[in-house]
Amino acid sequence: MSMKLIRIKDVMDRTGLAKSTVYKYISKGWLPKPLKPGGRMSAWVEEEIDAYIQELIQKRDMDQE
């Protein structure tokens, strides 16, 4: 299984969150922390962001029942 790293723009596009909100959610433990592959670069594991989105969908669906 290969893991893909995605950058902040991809995280913002997938979640619909602003950059500042992404980092706020990370500090609150709601979003996974990024990796630091080098220098100032931050990247997230794509599967972890997908899991976060799936969790939101499940919570929404449970609230509708």
pLDDT in tens, 17-52: 999 999 999 999 999 999 998 889 999 999 999 999
Q: Are the C-beta atoms of residues 65 and 57 closer than 8 Å to each other?
A: no
Q: What is the DSSP string of the chain?
A: ----EE-HHHHHHHH---HHHHHHHHHTTSSPPPEEEETTEEEEEHHHHHHHHHHHHHHHHHHH-
Name 42's bridge partners.
none
Domains of the chain and any CATH numbers: 5-64 (1.10.10)
d(CA 65, CA 63): 6
Q: Is the pLDDT of residue 65 over 80?
A: no
Q: Output the pLDDT for position 2.
A: 77
Q: Output the pLDDT for position 1.
A: 62
